[in-house]
Structure 1
Amino acid sequence: MNIDKKLFDVFIEELQEHLQNIRTHINSFFETDDVAVFNQIIKELHTLKGSSAIIGFKRLTDIFHNLENYFNKIKTNLNESDKVKIVELIDQLEKIPNNLDNPEDICTNINNILSGKTVSSSPTLDKSVHHSNKVDQNKIVEIKKDYFEIQNEIHNILEKINIEKYLKKKIYAKLESLGYKLNRLNLKSFSILDEKIKNIAFSTASKFNKKIKVVIENSDVEADETIINVINEALVHIVRNAVYHGVESPAERKKSNKSETGTIKISYHKLNDRILITVEDDGQGIDIEKVIAKAIEAKLISKEELKDLNEESVINLIFSDKISTSETIDEVSGRGVGMQIVKEKIESIGGIIEVETEKHRYTRFLLNVPFTFQSIMTKIIYSAGLDLAIPLTFIDSIEKYDENKLISKDNKKYYQHKNKLYSTISLANLLNITNVKEKLIMFFKNSATALIFESAKENILLDIIKLKGFNGAYKHYIGFSTYNNAPIGILSPSELDGKPLIVPQTTEDSFSTKPSAKKTVLIVDDNKIILNTLENILENNYKIIKAKNGIEAINILKSNEVNLVLTDIEMPEMDGFTLIQKIREKDDHLPIIVLTSRGDQKDIQNGMNLGANGYFIKKDFDNQALLKKIKELI
């Protein structure tokens, strides 16, 4: 079936909008038990039935017709089993936009639910957030592209002319400020999660015959879509667990002189460059005794070690994948696995998660995350001539290091701080450096490990460069950035384990091209499909390192032996022409091949004049010709 693309795009947008409205109405029904909202649901389904008929999706037309009849029927004769059906139906409807190429299974499931048959499916939430965006993303990309081209040109001019340092610094600051604002043009509101999260809560409550209400405050706070997608996943686990573990059954709540309906409250607060998200339920709290018993059973701690743990440390044991206070493990229960996922996700974006609880009263999760994944506020620390960055939100305190506070226990040495014992890691040891007098100690939130280092510098906002193509040796890092015109690693304290760090080298004046058993090719392109395609073509004969822009490539070249660079021209942050120029300023011999969509004679001449050794056009791409050229050069 041939469908006009514009018409298809309009249908997709309309479908998502009407499904969002249906979800809102269903949530309203669960909150109020008012079947009058079914009239609104029927209108939405009627509209979708007509739209799918016009575009030619007959199977969907039939499904929306059957659903319209079903809601017409139950609005005057609703029973408890219908509530379960509604939960299952919304779960299936959610999946339609991502399965329009083959909706048969979903349509079959919906018909089975309507006829009373069981469907092997649980209420789920997509890992990514789908919504229409009022800002034209293509225009933003074009503006950013123009900005980075102008930025590179200004940078090159300023480096070549005689100008006062303070004036040059002022111009750079203005450019940085403008780039900072451009990176925030595509912020979205957390409100796009509201109805989905409510639906997850009501779905889970229906499954376990519990009554809840969901209160969401200040969800108009904005963040990058990447951040929102991570929070989306985290809230799914937290809210499900709040319903399952936290909120008691109506009978239990009545015995405790509570309302039969439990409350889950989610609130968002903007704190400078951070966002604090609080998720609280008024349920039974975390059973500390049960957590301890499970931890001892799983051999996470011993009874002897338990004496040194405060309540906060015990509560944090729920983030272990070996801990669950549930008697059964399924897609809803089991705090352990779910909470471990939440912690990993939050920390992957430079955030932290904390837990507060009081027995029989509440459990509260506090998520402190950046509002943009591209930047993070950090503390710069220093040992033996090397700078490293630590995200501020991980840091609890920094104090003068006092050897007299070292205590020996079980043949190990611990540092005593505020009636708590900490394992210590020396930054100098991590860097494989000796004879360093370390004077300061840093304590982290939700961690029993402290870091000893030489000195602390400024707090600074760093743009994160996520490295691609590297192995687990770089697990210590959230990412990398540039500081004082040199690469700097951004450490993840949760990954500090005493093993040596691989750090970005800042002292090399030129890029190394020493031969190795298998020659290394650095592929630079912001298109994942191109990166993966080239990797598949070259990986049998060459070691592959990948970068998504020129800045990332420059940092990789400073700390890796590379024998050839294969680069695109049009990339964010630093384009291919600038990358070639930067490489040639340091190294006249490193082979560079351009693979780009830009095939004008002027572009080809520009690339070759800057120092490229070969120039290929993507639309005429011949992998054999590329392989032959690479073999000639290295």
Structure 2
Amino acid sequence: MIEDPEVLSTFLDEADERIQSVTDHLLAVEKSGELSKDRAEHLQRTLHNLKGAGRMIGLTHFQNLVHTMEGLVKAAGTGLDPAELVQLLLEGADEIRIVCGSMRAASRPLDPPELDTVNDKLALFLPAEQPPEPVEASEPPHLHTGAPLPIDHHYDPAEAGIMLDDFLAEADEMLETLQNACLALEKSPSLGEINNVFRVAHTLKGSSGIINLKAMNELTHSLEELLDGARKGEREITREWVDLLLAALDELSVILKKLKTKREFDHDIGPMIGRIEALKEGRPINAARADTPGASQPAAHESDPPKPAASEGAAQSIRVDIVKLDKVINLVGELAIAKIRFDQRIHEAESLKDELARVARAVRGEFDAAKVRSDIELLDATFLETLEDQRRASEDLQRISGELQEAVMRTRMVPVAQVLNKFPRMARDISKAQNKTVNLSISGEETEMDKTVVERIGDPLMHLVRNAIDHGIESPAERRRAGKPEAGSVSIRACYQGDQVVIEVSDDGGGIRRQKVLAAAVEKGLLTREEAEVMTPAAALDLIFKPGLSTADKVTDISGRGVGMDVVRDSIAKLKGVVSVHSEEGKGSTFTVKLPLTLAIIQVLMVKAGGRRLAMPLAAVQESLLVESKDIHSIGPRETFNLRGEAMSLVRLADMLGDAGHAWSGGSSVRHIVVATSGREKVGLEVDAFEGKREVVIKTLGTVLKRVRFAAGTTIMGDGSLVLIADLHEIVRASKEMEAVSMARRIVDKAPMAKDAARDKTVEPPAGAAPPRTFRASLLLVDDSPTVLQLLSPGIESGGIRVFKALDGRQALEILKKEKIDAIATDVAMPQMDGYELCRRVRKMPGKDAMPVILFSAKGEKMDKIRGFDAGADDYFVKPFEPSAIVAKLESMLRLVQSK
């Protein structure tokens, strides 16, 4: 074989073009019902050229198959039916397309013996006087001979090499397509549906043969033979036939799961092969299973395969539409052009600077007033022109960077069909087990979301669909008594709503019985009878999301244990989403899931509350408004205000966040209020000020951030400051579950007393209490953000280092004079005195010249770090980082200082 990469690339391009041409002409023949002389000549010429190209590369099996296809076209004039010709040639074309794709992925020529299987099949339709002209091959015979199949197969994924990931992605899609096609076949048996299933099974057989995955290859071959009998009308398509087909697909799924672990494995296909053979021969399937040597439980009940050997950080891939990729590439090109223009403006500004210096020198000496005036006017005009050019260049950069950001985010978007298309099979199996007839409809499956969201939303949605069928849809007898059709309906609908995706799971079943939910909640101790009597319908329905609450009359293997709906809500909340329910007794229920398009970038409302800046996700903000203080009313310990006729609870956000001791502008004539929502619940959150809307990138701080309540994440602003993103869903839920305002006031009342007590005296620990913490070193932590100080301090102190905190460089210098400090970690961008200047001042202080100093900043460019080291810093950290990193660095620095 010729191994030259350029030659191979040229061959593959030619093969793709010729196979596509053959396919287009065959589809035209199928549509017209006849093979014209012109089309026959075109097909012969195209296949003949493709055969010659394969011969030049040295692909023996490849050219044999193409030669047979060419012979079939010639035989069409001697009685071969056009429809049959199209079917045969499309099978050959599919096989060639698979092999060419594998060659492109492997970047080397491949000539698998598997091609002979298709070649032999097609050759059966050649006239006796026109046998194929086989070319001698040195490869071993193809997989499928007449010999008995081995039962157990061992496989090492290393055999697949670089083709493994491509095969896994393709096989996943094909198995999903096969499942949906089988379900369609069960509802509407037709030759077209049978051919569809046959074609996909045939393609999967070929792909698995390419990587030598014999277990899958031989099982799909058995399925192919079973389907071929149905195509020829030799077997009737029954429920038992479809059940076996789906069971075989389950077996293939188990093989695929084992393959995904990327570890060596064994798989016994004997039992399933035996069942298929029994059906083909008309023997009972169950008996065949028992009699088959080595038979075991069906694949659907096999234990889960071992977890993948790859770590969580292993590389992952995503298929990107070429249109999206082209968009990104074009924008990168525009960005490069815009940068050149921007650099040109800088060059012009430098020229203006030189010209201005020349004029200044002229003014200082003897000068011609008229000429200087003319020079200044020219400079002024040039400056204004350069300024305008710079403004336009800046706008272009802003536009392009925004579009590029959106385009890159779009490359992470995948259709929710990847999840939703798995549900028809599940719905079919559950309804069959429940002796119910359920029609599942799916719409909006083309709606796209971030790949991470799509991958993690599957289990919560599956639980909702299972519940809809098991709990929601009544038995056929109950539906008849209620005047409903025997077949129940479950629908899944996905659509865009602003910058969110809404997924609704609805059923036309019996609905949720509110009184039964309340009774179960009282029995579980979640409510008192008095609370249950006054609870609103919406709040009562929301109880189904409480842990352990179940209204099922019986426990099944599907549901009814009271475990699940709380997990559904928690799982969706982790995706920054929310789930709500609406139900009417006797008519059905609808669960509505709202999710962000992406977890990376969101729109937020910036506010100030309790002396800190916060970002509120706009997806959970209904509106922001100013309310006069006279329109705020007190009802018991709570404050409320009227929002278009609706009494809305008012909570001071600073109190929820633990900033109750901060000065409160409650005496102001106007109050700033944000109406936050979580499902059907709403609450008014009072803040100190609004700072406008903006788009931010979400970041996390690992284990540190998890200790901060009501924090959904963090973001870094343009000035390098760190801002928390509030978890509004959790805040709304918390405010509805407790007397937030009264609790906050108790905190406000007690906070000053606690602080005074701490200042005035040292409280001795009670007998038996743990001894006070001892520290082996002290650190001065400097940052103008109280949030950063709050986040970093506990983690650093847990590492045995005492933390002194300062809000800017000047305050830090004062603490250095009063306290014994071993090291300093300081932010760079701060008011009063920045980190660079603080570092320089410390180096000039007597006895502090060797003190370890660490700078940290959101800016991590090379020049930023050089400035830090020039100022005297020992290290430079880029936000965000873990406190443990600071502790580890300090320990090594302090050991070095002590050794000197």
Common fold: TM-score over 0.5 = yes
Q: Output the CA distance in 1 between the equivalents of 2:788 and 2:570.
A: 37
The verdict on how the C-alpha distance between 1:209 and 1:487 changes in structure 2, with shifts beyond 3 A counting, is: same
Structure 1 residues 28 and 351: alpha-carbon distance in aligned structure 2, compared to 1, 3 A threshold? same
Deviation at 1:361, TM superposition (A): 1.2
Matched, 1:12 2:171: no
Cα displacement (A) at 1:350: 2.4
- Residue 332 of structure 2 contacts residue 404 of structure 2 at CA under 8 Å; is this kept in 1? no
Seen in structure 2, the aligned counterparts of structure 1 residues 293 and 198 have a Cα distance that, compared at 3 Å, is: same
TM-score (norm 1): 0.70
- Bigger fraction of residues in strand: 1
Inter-CA distance 210–510: structure 2 relative to 1 (3 Å threshold): closer
Output the CA distance in 2 between the equivalents of 1:138 and 1:312.
45
Q: CA deviation at 1:495?
A: 3.1
Contact 2:624 2:672 in 1 (8 A): yes
Aligned CA distance change for structure 1 residues 508 and 92 (closer, same or farther; 3 Å): same
Counterpart residue number, 1:488: 723
- The superposition leaves residues 207-266 of structure 1 with CA deviations (integer Å, 9 ceiling, x where unpaired) of 212212222222222221112223323321111111111122222222222222222222
**Does the C-alpha gap of structure 1 residues 565 and 332 become closer, same or farther in structure 2, counting only changes over 3 Å?**
farther
> Helix, strand or coil: the match of 2:712?
strand
Amino acid at match of 1:121: H
Cα distance, 1:238–1:135 mapped onto 2, change above 3 Å: farther
**2:771 pairs with 1:591:** no
Q: Which residue of 1 aligns with 2:139?
A: none
1:473 is displaced (CA, Å) by 0.7
Is 2:189–2:237's contact at 8 Å kept on the other side of the alignment? no
Paired AA for residue 662 in structure 2: T
CA distance in 2, matches of 1:466, 1:368: 22
Change in 2 beyond 3 A, CA 1:112/1:176: same
**Alignment partner of 2:421: what SS?**
helix
Q: Summarize deviations over 1:506-547 as a string: whole Å, max 9, x none.
A: 548999999867389xxxxxxxxxxxxxxxxxxxxxxxxxxx
Residue 678 (structure 2) aligns with: 445
Name the CA shift for 1:469/1:156 in 2 (closer, same or farther; >3 Å). Answer: farther
Further displaced range: 148-157 or 417-426: 148-157
Residue 290 of structure 1: how far off its partner (Å): 1.6
Work out the CA distance in 2 between the residues paired with 1:309 and 1:155: 63
Cα distance in 1, alignment partners of residues 415 and 224 from structure 2: 32
Q: What is the deviation of 1:169? A: 6.5
Give the Cα separation in 2 of the matches to 1:257 and 1:582: 79
CA shift digits 1:188-216 (9 cap, x unpaired):
22233342122222222222122122222
* Structure 1 position 48, deviation (Å): 3.3
How many angstroms apart in 2 are the aligned matches of 1:166 and 1:630? 50
Q: 2:583 aligns with which of 346, 353, 357?
A: 357
Residue 363 of structure 1: CA displacement?
1.0
Inter-CA distance 264–50: structure 2 relative to 1 (3 Å threshold): same
Structure 1: how far apart are the matches of 2:618 and 2:606?
10
C-alpha contact (below 8 Å) 2:174/2:200 kept by paired residues: yes
Change in CA separation of 1:506 and 1:299 when aligned onto 2, cut-off 3 Å: farther
SS at match of 1:220: coil
Is 1:332 the equivalent of 2:558? yes
User: Could you tell me which of 163, 183, 189 is aligned with 1:27?
Assistant: 183
- Aligned pair partner of 2:708 in 455, 474, 497: 474
- Cα distance in 2 between the residues matched to 1:83 and 1:633: 76
Specify every segment of 5 or more residues in structure 1 that has no aligned partner in the other structure, as ranges.
Answer: 521-561, 568-572, 595-626
Shift of 1:476: 2.1
User: What does residue 820 of structure 2 align with?
Assistant: none
Q: 2:437 aligns with which of 211, 217, 225?
A: 211
Partner of 2:255: 96
* Residue-by-residue CA offset, 1:17-69 (whole Å, 9 max, x unaligned): 42122112122135446697455434433443454345332333343345456
2:522 corresponds to 1:342: no
- Tell me the residue number matched to 1:530: none
Counterpart residue type for residue 318 of structure 1: I
Aligned 8 A contact 1:380 1:456 in 2: yes
Q: 1:80 deviation in Å?
A: 5.2
Q: Secondary structure at the match of 1:269?
A: strand
CA distance in 2, matches of 1:470, 1:510: 10
How far apart in 1 are the matches of 2:339 and 2:534?
55
Following superposition, the deviation at residue 437 of structure 1 comes to: 2.2
Post-superposition offset of 1:391? 1.8
CA contact under 8 A between 1:122 and 1:331: conserved in structure 2? no
Aligned partner letter, 2:702: K
TM alignment of 1:279-298, pairs within 5 A? 279-298=505-524
Give the aligned partner of residue 55 of structure 1: 211
Aligned to 1:407: 635
Percent identity reads 19
Other structure's SS at 2:510 match: coil
Aligned to 2:600: 374
Quick one: structure 1 residues 275 and 426, their matched pair in 2 at CA, closer, same or farther if it must change by over 3 Å?
closer
Which of 387, 393, 398 is equivalent to 1:173? 398
Cα drift, residue 388 of structure 1: 1.0
- Bigger drift between 309-318 and 271-280 goes to 271-280
User: Residue deviations 1:542-582, cap 9 Å, x none?
Assistant: xxxxxxxxxxxxxxxxxxxx987999xxxxx9877477458
The Cα shift of 1:186 comes to 2.9
Post-superposition shift, 1:357? 1.3
Taking structure 2 as the reference length, what is the TM-score of the superposition?
A: 0.52
Structure 2 gap ranges (5+)? 1-155, 276-284, 291-295, 351-385, 735-739, 748-781, 802-851, 879-890
Q: 1:462 aligns with which of 696, 699, 707?
A: 696
1:600 equivalent in structure 2: none
Q: Is the 8 A contact 1:84 1:207 kept in 2?
A: no
Amino acid at match of 2:654: L
Matching of residues 489-508 of structure 1 within 5 Å: 489-496=724-731, 497=734, 506-507=784-785
Question: For residues 332-371 of structure 1, what are the alpha-carbon distances to aligned partners after superposition, in whole Å with 9 as ceiling and x for unaligned?
Answer: 3148533222222222232222211111112112222221
Q: CA 1:334/1:144 → structure 2, altered by over 3 Å: closer, same or farther?
A: farther
Instruction: Please name the residue that 1:621 is paired with.
Output: none
Q: Given the superposition, is the C-alpha separation of residues 26 and 577 from structure 1 closer, same or farther in structure 2, using an over 3 Å criterion?
A: farther
Out of 279, 285, 301, the residue aligned to residue 121 of structure 1 is 301
Question: Match for residue 518 of structure 1?
Answer: 799
Structure with the larger helix share: 2
Q: 1:418-433, aligned counterparts within 5 Å? A: 424=651, 426-428=653-655, 430-432=657-659, 433=661
Q: Say if 1:260 and 1:578 are closer, same or farther in 2 by CA, change over 3 A.
A: farther
Distance 1:155 1:466 in 2: 33
Matched, 1:309 2:535: yes
Which of 655, 662, 670 is 1:434 aligned to?
662
Tell me which amino acid in the other structure corresponds to 1:427. A
Q: Is the 8 A contact 1:427 1:451 kept in 2?
A: no
Q: How large is the Cα RMSD of the aligned pairs?
A: 5.1
Partners of 2:196 and 2:569 in 1: how far apart? 39
Q: By how many angstroms is 1:590 displaced?
A: 4.2
Match of residue 201, structure 1, among 414, 423, 427: 427
Higher RCO, 1 or 2 (CA under 8 Å, sep at least 6)? 1
Amino acid at match of 1:488: V
Would the aligned equivalents of 1:286 and 1:357 in 2 still touch at CA under 8 Å?
yes
Aligned amino acid, residue 450 of structure 2: D
C-alpha contact (below 8 Å) 2:705/2:711 kept by paired residues: no
State the one-letter code of the partner of 1:28: A
Asked if the contact 2:722–2:787 (Cα under 8 Å) also holds between the matched residues in 1, the reply is no
Q: Distance between the aligned counterparts of 2:656 and 2:208, measured in 1? A: 65
